[in-house]
Amino acid sequence: MAHELLGQKPTRFGFGEGLVTLGERHSNVIVLGGDITGSVLTSMFKEKFPDRFFSIGIAEQNATTIAAGLALSGKIPFFASYGAFCALRNADQLRISVAYNEANVKIGGGHAGISVGPDGATHQVLEEVAFLRTLPNMTMLVPADFEEARKATIAMGEMHGPAYIRFGRSPVPMFTTESSPFEIGKAQVLTDGTDVALIACGAMVWESLLAAQELAKKGIHARVINSPSIKPFDFATVTQAARDCGAIVTAEEHQVHGGLGGAVAECTAKNAPVPIEFVGVKDSFGGSGEPEELMVKFGLTWREIYASALVAMDRRDRGSSGVRAIKDVPQAQ
Amino acid sequence: MAHELLGQKPTRFGFGEGLVTLGERHSNVIVLGGDITGSVLTSMFKEKFPDRFFSIGIAEQNATTIAAGLALSGKIPFFASYGAFCALRNADQLRISVAYNEANVKIGGGHAGISVGPDGATHQVLEEVAFLRTLPNMTMLVPADFEEARKATIAMGEMHGPAYIRFGRSPVPMFTTESSPFEIGKAQVLTDGTDVALIACGAMVWESLLAAQELAKKGIHARVINSPSIKPFDFATVTQAARDCGAIVTAEEHQVHGGLGGAVAECTAKNAPVPIEFVGVKDSFGGSGEPEELMVKFGLTWREIYASALVAMDRRDRGSSGVRAIKDVPQAQ
Amino acid sequence: MLQFVSLLVRTLFPQRSTHMDTATKQSLDFNTTTFPNQRTDAQALKAAANEIRRDIIRSLVRAGSGHSGGPLGSADVFAALYFGGVMRYRPEDMHWSGRDRFVLSAGHMAPVMYAALANAGCFPKEELGTLRKFNTRLQGHPGRDMHLPGVETSSGSLGQGISIAVGMAMADKLVDHSDRRVFTLTGDGELQEGSVWEAAMSASHFKLDNFCWIIDNNDCQIDGRLPEVMNVYPIVDKCVAFGFDTVVVDGHDPDDIMRGFDVFLTNQANGTGKPTAIVAKTYMGHGVSFMNDKFEWHGKPPSHDQAVAALEELAKM
Amino acid sequence: MLQFVSLLVRTLFPQRSTHMDTATKQSLDFNTTTFPNQRTDAQALKAAANEIRRDIIRSLVRAGSGHSGGPLGSADVFAALYFGGVMRYRPEDMHWSGRDRFVLSAGHMAPVMYAALANAGCFPKEELGTLRKFNTRLQGHPGRDMHLPGVETSSGSLGQGISIAVGMAMADKLVDHSDRRVFTLTGDGELQEGSVWEAAMSASHFKLDNFCWIIDNNDCQIDGRLPEVMNVYPIVDKCVAFGFDTVVVDGHDPDDIMRGFDVFLTNQANGTGKPTAIVAKTYMGHGVSFMNDKFEWHGKPPSHDQAVAALEELAKM
Ligand SMILES: Cc1ncc(C[n+]2csc(CCOP(=O)(O)OP(=O)(O)O)c2C)c(N)n1
Ligand SMILES: Cc1ncc(C[n+]2csc(CCOP(=O)(O)OP(=O)(O)O)c2C)c(N)n1
Ligand SMILES: [Mg+2]
Ligand SMILES: [Mg+2]
């Protein structure tokens, strides 16, 4: 499988384009704005379908619950804001009016992760995957690049039920194409190794490919798995990877607790227990800076994945003693 | 170790009593009411210290953030409501004004879990442990009984930093005493087995003891671990249990995703991978009924723990094939 | 070594007593009366309200837990709404696409909505006896997952239903361009939730003259009277400042309640672009003298004897 | 088999250009002027506001991202607050226990607060050049974790700071019985957040006459003008209905701003039990003609050339 760098683009543009496609295909798709329509690209839909766009202002609770009311009236409402505000400011609304209601509400949570950059910690949401994953009836997607974000947006609009998509502010590498497979509930095996599995979502998928490339230079063949569907989760693919490789690294732009890493840990504990190393933000808040600087500072590069892979394999082959916290991530060399 | 049934009492009374003790010891402890002070027993503090009690009404966002303001003014504010509303309605406030601020705010989340009973799903919060566990700087406690709730409340009041305690509405067995150890960050080994570890929090600790008793009849010696401190988490005790027993069951009155089970799965994946079975609510919302009926319906009794222990040991001893979701819990016989 | 001390012989959660002796059972039974939905006189609405109140008592005493105060206090408003020809619906088909919708934002008041729906014929009144019980369609707080006819949405977390209702009214007026109406009822303590004011702001922003917000102003909430717990007054000024045509009515006077609804119907008919707020002055627990205006009855069911007394009093009204 | 195509030679996130040529560098440099905090005349406050504005431009052009519009528009209010003898503080000891406190609820307006604090002498003005940069104390939104003197709390999620300020005012007045004052500034778009109204309701409920709420009423938010995005008007009626003594001032006229603060100081001195709301009518981007009253400048920094032009214009004011 070739994984070419096809350029760079923020995933939020995939969301924006996906929305426009949905608008074209389905007359009952409605979009609600939260006063940052330009940032989360709902502006694209607004421009094309002004009659089906409603600005709710800075009121994420209301927007989420209005969306539930629209959904209970047969519409397919999307509401998008920064993830910090449309996954948490409205958490109670998501739980009761959306999830418990099984309302056909779609949420787009932008500016996720450290790569938000200079806006700083308040805007760099790193906790919402854990929360959304626990909500019954919820679908939770974290696409890896622009094209996958586009597909995921369309897919969530065309399924029935509550769904959330997480996307980012800054440009990230593009490597999936129109013909790359995408299906809600499915992970994709990007490379075929059996020495160690690197399971990632979002921008960390590309970093995992980079790590695999470096590992390959040492003769280590990593199976890179892209897991955009956090819920429903692809137990089969992850279990198979655990059985075939016996060692796993998870990588995500999220706290090391409760997110994709948590899902993989639960899955393997249930089906095929193996050593896992967790690459993510180590139980801290973010901060201002340029995305690249921050990704290095917070340990979200291929280097940590690479180093973690060596540790995970070592643990598999020789066992390990001592007790380490989840956030104890091997230092990048 | 003897584990005698010392009666039944809701954990919320432990919270209420603990608050009064704190009020006596520390003149800067303040309590904020959320219009259900009788249900969550902040009424006890209010009665004794009316000058240090402020009713905020039905405004959980405001109460949480006012608490942050009080904390930044050197007070030790407690705010309590139903967990559905004081962990989620205010999630954004908890993240930014409390956790990011490292404000010395204490939250008491009552009516947690299915055992709330007839009020039904909206009130039966089953997701908040997962969310709170991901917040940096946060301490998250789930006491097992009345006495432990009392101790935990005092302990969280006397440590510095954001903390949350989860407690329940209905009477649950009392079995810890004044002399039982309690320390934030520590789990307690209640029984000494090495055949399987049963790791639980809240009311499910007692159910685990019951399961252990039944297992003992079959000659299976279970190590029952009470893990009231979800965060900070006792990696050492859980890792030791994984190494000694090689098979684990987790049990909690929470979704099977992301809570105590998630914490144990992450810990073992990091330190000592072993088969785990997860007893909890299987990715669904609750419903009305009597607590006892509901605990049976939703699979939250010693029977599921017992059956899960057998499966976990079997998986350890003979491996397993197939792929099971986290929520696939062995049927109670 | 571990010792266990007779652990298994125990009831984890003691069962509530819901026992009833057969002597008085008759008066507590549900009947099969239903009421039509049409413009009518105060007398007819009073009769409907009385039956709703009795069914609230009957269902709560069986449930052994639940909210008496708010439901009893708002029974007259519900009678006008469901039986005064204000809200258009078909009891035999509560999914009828042309129906108006009611959203109970104050989810804990479910017993009065259930009683109104049963008295409209949406489901057998017998079923009111299952309130709050295991696997019931009459969940402690409305649960859409149970598919009870007439329950448009789940609610129970205060301050959410009103936003759902705004969303529905937007769908009707701004998307489907239909003349469907949307009603919602909040408590007055509920006004302390900021999300209520987000909803209110958006209802007037979107000129939803098809939106009718009823505020059950009983001046009570769980911990006491509103000005003590958290002062929400002046309610009318707030509603006006948030863009509502606001009318205050005596929530126990059918004619005055209808006057309130007529303000709303006129607003919609004239296309004023103003949503309507009806502040219904009520007494918590109204109709049962020992509950009247007592916030202690917010969340309590009557005991068996209290239920009998309440039904006797109501029968005389 | 896998093939990788020159993956490692790349920049994951392209760096923003913050390059400045040395020719114009002088005018963009920070100076060391500071201002005293005392009752003074309009001229002195105008001078302070002007310096604040220039420092906003200087820090934003270096940052290469951030919010110009709100900060520039509220500079006159900040000048009065920090340099008009209204708020009591000690620049050399911002932890002084007797200090009044300011909470920036509109966290995105951090640049104006940072500039005011630097011009008060709380930290070296040079440090304004680190705004939004890696490991800076001047985070994009105020971060208490960075311990910048004068930053009382983190903020950045709208509608939270005002509640924090209420909590502080409660601590001062109701617990410590001190005469400390608490000020907070929200945007006007921020008024769309329901939690703002929860905070407002509680401030009047608790009779916090030591609480002063400034609303930066520039009629702009990110997506446009307020009435288009979500109409919050009438703002004054809302504040009054929520129990505030409400005064409208020209947010660019130092005397009028001081009149507003005097209403507050009088309320506190007289123990009226009323919190004060000051609705400051401002223009987004005020002081820089090409930004004036343009919502597009909500969240943009000036380019190098725009910064030079802005500084030249401000120097002439
Ligand atoms: C968000 C939220 N917070 C708290 C509660 C708990 N609660 C249920 S009813 C109630 C009081 C409501 O007062 P009001 O609206 O006046 O209704 P009334 O007591 O008059 O029936 C409270 C606090 C809730 N259901 N939802
Ligand atoms: C809870 C929340 N939602 C959304 C945002 C994103 N946001 C930052 S500033 C802003 C606009 C604020 O408008 P206003 O208060 O009028 O400030 P101004 O644009 O005038 O500076 C928005 C929507 C946020 N910071 N917090
Ligand atoms: Mg009331
Ligand atoms: Mg503005």
* pLDDT tens series, chain B, 333 aa: 468 999 999 999 999 999 999 999 999 999 999 999 999 999 999 999 999 999 999 999 999 999 999 999 999 999 999 999 999 999 999 999 999 999 999 999 999 999 999 999 999 999 999 999 999 999 999 999 999 999 999 999 999 999 999 999 999 999 999 999 999 999 999 999 999 999 999 999 999 999 999 999 999 999 999 999 999 999 999 999 999 999 999 999 999 999 999 999 999 999 999 999 999 999 999 999 999 999 999 999 999 999 999 999 999 999 877 899 999 988 776
Residue D6 lies in a domain: no
Burial of D207 (0-12, 13-18, 19+ CB in 10 A): middle
pLDDT of residue C26: 53
Residue C145 lies in a domain: yes
Q: Mean per-residue pLDDT for C162-172?
A: 98
pLDDT in tens, A64-84: 999 999 999 999 999 999 999
Q: Mean per-residue pLDDT for C13-41?
A: 72
Does residue A320 surpass a pLDDT of 50? yes
Report the distance separating Cα C59 and Cα C66, nearest Å: 9
Burial of B249 (0-12, 13-18, 19+ CB in 10 A): buried
**Which strands make up the sheet holding A229-231, listed edge to edge?**
A53-55, A29-33, A76-82, A106-110, A163-166, A139-141, A229-231
| Residues A251, A254, A257, A261, CA torsion sign | negative
pLDDT in tens, A14-38: 999 999 999 999 999 999 999 999 9
Largest CA distance in chain C: 81
In 3-state terms, what secondary structure has residue D18? Answer: coil
Residue D21 lies in a domain: no
| Beta pairing class for D276-281 and D245-250 | parallel
Contact criterion met (CB below 8 Å) for B72 and D164: yes
Q: How much is the CA Rg of chain C, to the nearest whole Å?
A: 20
Torsion region of D38: left, alpha or beta (phi above 0 gives left; psi -120 to 50 gives alpha): beta
pLDDT of residue B333: 60
Backbone φ and ψ of B273, nearest 5°: -65, 125
Report the distance separating Cα A44 and Cα A16, nearest Å: 6
The closest of C211, C199, C216, C214 to C265, measured between CA atoms, is C211
Residue C286 lies in a domain: yes
What's the token pair of residue A296? 């290095």
Span(s) in chain B for CATH 3.40.50.970: 8-173
Residue D24 lies in a domain: no
Residue C6 lies in a domain: no
Partner-chain contact D13 A288, CB within 8 Å: no
What is the position in ligand 2's atom list of the atom closest to the CA of A81?
Answer: 4
Q: Which chains touch B (3 or more CB pairs under 8 A)?
A: A, C, D
pLDDT of residue C27: 77
Report the distance separating Cα D288 and Cα D313, nearest Å: 7
The helix-helix angle for A146-158 and A11-25 (nearest 10°) equals 40
**Considering its fold, how many domains does chain D have in total?**
1
Does residue C198 surpass a pLDDT of 80? yes
Q: Chain A: residue nearest B96 by CA?
A: A122
Any ligand 1 atom below 6 A from CB of C157: yes
Report the distance separating Cα A224 and Cα A198, nearest Å: 5
Largest CA distance in chain D: 82
Report the distance separating Cα A19 and Cα A15, nearest Å: 6
Report the distance separating Cα B237 and Cα B243, nearest Å: 10
A116 alpha carbon – ligand 2 mean position (Å): 16
pLDDT band at residue A322, thresholds of 50, 70 and 90?
Answer: confident
What's the token pair of residue D105? 């609820």
pLDDT of residue A166: 98
Helix segments in chain C, DSSP class H: 22-28, 42-63, 69-73, 75-83, 110-120, 161-170, 194-205, 226-229, 235-241, 254-270, 304-316
pLDDT in tens, D39-82: 999 999 999 999 999 999 999 999 999 999 999 999 999 999 99
Q: Which ligand is nearest to the CA of D222?
A: 2
B258 alpha carbon – ligand 3 mean position (Å): 37
Query: How long is chain B?
Result: 333
Backbone φ and ψ of C24, nearest 5°: -95, 0
Span(s) in chain A for CATH 3.40.50.920: 188-318
Q: Letter for the amino acid at D130? A: T
Q: What is the CATH number of the domain that holds D121?
A: 3.40.50.970
Residue D30 lies in a domain: no
pLDDT in tens, D251-266: 999 999 999 999 999 9
Sequence-ordered list of residues with C-beta below 8 angstroms from that of D316, at least 6 positions apart, any chain: none
Candidate from A89-103, A308-322, D182-196 with smallest mean pLDDT: A308-322
Q: Chain C: residue nearest D160 by CA?
A: C194
Give chain D positions within 8 Å (CB) of A284.
Answer: none
pLDDT of residue A333: 60
In 3-state terms, what secondary structure has residue A46? Answer: helix
Sequence-ordered list of residues with C-beta below 8 angstroms from that of A296, at least 6 positions apart, any chain: none
Ligand 1: which of C184, C219, C221, C281 to mutate, judged by most atoms within 8 Å of the beta carbon? C221
Looking at domain A8-173, its CATH superfamily turns out to be Thiamin diphosphate (ThDP)-binding fold, Pyr/PP domains (3.40.50.970)
Span between the terminal Cα atoms of chain C, in Å: 68
**Geometric angle at alpha carbon B205, from B199 and B208, rounded to 5°:** 75
CB-based contact, D136 to chain C, within 8 Å: no
Report the distance separating Cα B177 and Cα B188, nearest Å: 13
What's the token pair of residue C92? 């035999």
Give chain B positions within 8 Å (CB) of C221.
Answer: 35, 57-58
Ligand 1: which of B40, B58, B89, B107 to mutate, judged by most atoms within 8 Å of the beta carbon? B58
CATH of domain B188-318: 3.40.50.920
Largest CA distance in chain A: 63
Look up the domain containing C220 and give its range.
Answer: 40-314
Look over chain D and give the mean of its residue pLDDT values, rounded to a whole number. Answer: 93
Q: Does B148 qualify as catalytic in the annotation?
A: no
Partner-chain contact A59 D194, CB within 8 Å: yes
pLDDT of residue D21: 47
| Helix and strand element counts for chain C (H, E) | 11, 8
| Beta pairing class for B139-141 and B229-231 | antiparallel
Q: Chain D: residue nearest C226 by CA?
A: D205
**Which strands make up the sheet holding B222-226, listed edge to edge?**
B188-189, B222-226, B196-200, B248-255, B276-281
Candidate from B26-35, B323-332, D22-31, D138-147 with smallest mean pLDDT: D22-31
Tell me the ipTM for this assembly.
0.96
In 3-state terms, what secondary structure has residue A319? Answer: coil
Q: Mean per-residue pLDDT for A173-182?
A: 97
Burial of C293 (0-12, 13-18, 19+ CB in 10 A): middle
What's the token pair of residue A80? 């998008």
